[in-house]
């Protein structure tokens, strides 16, 4: 019996959804592996699927049933229109963080500035800033050696010159910075049960969770930034959607002479803090 791409993938998607998983993930994976965009999918969807391709879908289905994120199966994710390698040692870059980068770029021109990205992970923030502001001197820090190795590979593949340092927050930074930016760990242990199973099982815990109701790293950034931020410098932070006022208070106390503002993401959730 002849089976088409759409028949097999629709069946796989329905199976995943019946098991409480994200049904679209199998189509996302398959199109990525075939290097097909939506137009190519529409052109080919009713063609006969090969036995090899069916086996590939079955294997991906088994991994998705184990809650392995599709990006880890592919080994990459796109961020700011560029492809970044991801591994189990790095968080998967997310659209909300693209909004943080976009906000930083919108508030800063092409003039040369010194910038540090705290907890760089894949290097997505640091590399994206450097690609869009070539005159900036960008340093990226992370406490994880393994994450830094991935970030360095991404910087090299995207032909950006970035300084990488292993550092617990800003401990390895000695020069004053014009911009401090970070998507730090901000999930509290109390929120563990609310997390998606794939995130809890496979993404690195040190990049996700923070003590003191998820505020510990913000407190550390605020404390260490006071001596490292230039007088006209700015801080850009991603936050949990319920943390806006708590993080605002932390940085207003640290920087009483600066404006500390909460910015929302496209879903109208509090998502970013700017100190300016």
Give the rounded percent of residues in the chain with a pLDDT score beyond 90.
Answer: 85
pLDDT at 264 over 80: yes
CB of 151 closer than 8 Å to CB of 140: yes
Residue from 261, 128, 147 nearest 203 by CA: 147
> In the chain, what are the helix, strand and coil shares in percent, each to the nearest 5?
45, 20, 35
If asked whether residues 199 and 139 sit together in one domain, one would say: yes
* Residue 28 belongs to some domain of the structure: yes
Confidence bin at 216 (pLDDT 50/70/90) = confident
If asked whether residues 125 and 162 sit together in one domain, one would say: yes
Residue from 223, 158, 216 nearest 184 by CA: 216
pLDDT at 20: 93
Query: Domain range holding 211?
Result: 77-275
CA distances from 33 to 53, 142, 175, 185 (A): 10, 31, 44, 31
pLDDT (average), residues 111-115: 95
pLDDT at 143 over 70: yes
Is 20 annotated to bind a ligand? Reply is no
pLDDT at 191: 54
Residue from 75, 72, 122, 132 nearest 102 by CA: 132
Is 132 annotated to bind a ligand? Reply is no
Confidence bin at 242 (pLDDT 50/70/90) = confident
pLDDT at 121: 96
Higher-confidence position of 109 and 1: 109
Q: How far apart are CA 208 and CA 198, in angstroms?
A: 13
What are 12-17's contacts with CB under 8 Å, separation 24+? 12/57, 12/61, 15/61, 16/61, 16/64, 16/65
* Residue 259 belongs to some domain of the structure: yes
Confidence bin at 186 (pLDDT 50/70/90) = low
Residues in CB range of 86: below 8 A, 6 or more apart = 71, 72, 75, 76, 77, 92, 93, 122, 150
Is 70 annotated to bind a ligand? Reply is no
Residues in CB range of 118: below 8 A, 6 or more apart = 141, 167, 169, 170, 180, 181, 182, 184, 221
Domain count, the chain: 2
pLDDT at 110: 86
Is 256 annotated to bind a ligand? Reply is no
pLDDT at 196: 66
Confidence bin at 241 (pLDDT 50/70/90) = confident
pLDDT at 212 over 90: no
Q: What is the mean pLDDT of the chain?
A: 92
Confidence bin at 189 (pLDDT 50/70/90) = low
* Residue 53 belongs to some domain of the structure: yes
Q: How far apart are CA 28 and CA 78, in angstroms?
A: 13
pLDDT at 198 over 70: no
If asked whether residues 162 and 197 sit together in one domain, one would say: yes
If asked whether residues 145 and 270 sit together in one domain, one would say: yes
Domain stops at, among 13, 43, 66: 66
Q: Considering Cα of 73, then 79, then 81, then 82, what sign does the dihedral take?
A: negative
* Residue 49 belongs to some domain of the structure: yes
* Residue 232 belongs to some domain of the structure: yes
Q: How far apart are CA 212 and CA 221, in angstroms?
A: 14
Is 240 annotated to bind a ligand? Reply is no
CA–chain centroid gap for 147, Å, is: 12
Name the 3-class secondary structure at 166.
strand
pLDDT at 253 over 60: yes
If asked whether residues 62 and 95 sit together in one domain, one would say: no
If asked whether residues 51 and 88 sit together in one domain, one would say: no
- For 84-105, the pLDDT digits (tens) are 999 999 999 999 999 999 999 9
pLDDT at 71 over 60: yes
Give the rounded percent of residues in the chain with a pLDDT score beyond 70.
Answer: 90
If asked whether residues 121 and 230 sit together in one domain, one would say: yes
pLDDT (average), residues 38-42: 95
Is 244 annotated to bind a ligand? Reply is no
pLDDT at 224: 97
pLDDT (average), residues 189-196: 58
pLDDT at 239: 94
If asked whether residues 271 and 171 sit together in one domain, one would say: yes
If asked whether residues 94 and 224 sit together in one domain, one would say: yes
Is 201 annotated to bind a ligand? Reply is no
Q: Could you report how far apart the first and last alpha carbons of the chain are, in Å?
A: 65
If asked whether residues 21 and 130 sit together in one domain, one would say: no
Domain stops at, among 34, 66, 98: 66
Is 184 annotated to bind a ligand? Reply is yes
Is 120 annotated to bind a ligand? Reply is yes
CATH number at residue 132: 3.40.50.150
CA distances from 62 to 86, 182, 199 (A): 20, 35, 17
- Quote the longest CA-to-CA distance of the chain: 73
Domain stops at, among 66, 88, 118: 66
Is 23 annotated to bind a ligand? Reply is no
pLDDT (average), residues 11-21: 95
pLDDT at 206 over 70: no
If asked whether residues 184 and 56 sit together in one domain, one would say: no
User: Which residue reads 């991935």 in tokens?
Assistant: 150
């Amino acid at each position: 019996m002849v089976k088409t791409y759409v028949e097999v993938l629709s069946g796989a998607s329905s199976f995943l959804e019946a098991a409480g998983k994200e049904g679209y993930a199998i189509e996302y994976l398959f199109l990525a592996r075939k290097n097909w965009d939506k137009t190519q999918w529409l052109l080919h969807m009713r063609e006969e699927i090969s036995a090899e391709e069916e086996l590939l879908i079955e294997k991906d289905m088994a991994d998705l049933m184990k809650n392995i994120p599709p990006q880890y199966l592919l080994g990459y994710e796109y961020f700011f229109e560029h492809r970044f390698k991801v591994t189990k040692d790095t968080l998967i870059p997310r659209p909300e963080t693209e909004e943080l980068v976009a906000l930083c770029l919108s508030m800063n021109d092409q003039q040369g500035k010194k910038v540090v990205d705290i907890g760089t992970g894949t290097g997505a923030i640091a590399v994206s800033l450097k690609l869009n502001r070539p005159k900036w001197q960008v340093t990226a820090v992370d406490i994880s050696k393994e994450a830094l190795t991935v970030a360095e590979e991404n910087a090299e593949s995207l032909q950006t010159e970035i300084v990488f340092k292993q550092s617990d927050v800003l401990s390895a930074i000695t020069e004053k910075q014009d911009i401090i930016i970070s998507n730090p760990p901000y999930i509290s242990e109390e929120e563990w049960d609310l997390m998606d199973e794939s995130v809890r099982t496979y993404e690195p815990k040190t990049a996700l969770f923070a003590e003191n109701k998820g505020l510990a790293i913000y407190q550390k950034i605020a404390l260490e930034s006071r001596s490292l931020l230039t007088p006209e410098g700015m801080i850009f932070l991603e936050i949990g959607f319920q943390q806006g006022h708590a993080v605002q208070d932390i940085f207003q106390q640290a920087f009483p002479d600066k404006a500390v503002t909460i910015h929302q993401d496209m879903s109208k959730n509090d998502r970013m803090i700017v100190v300016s």
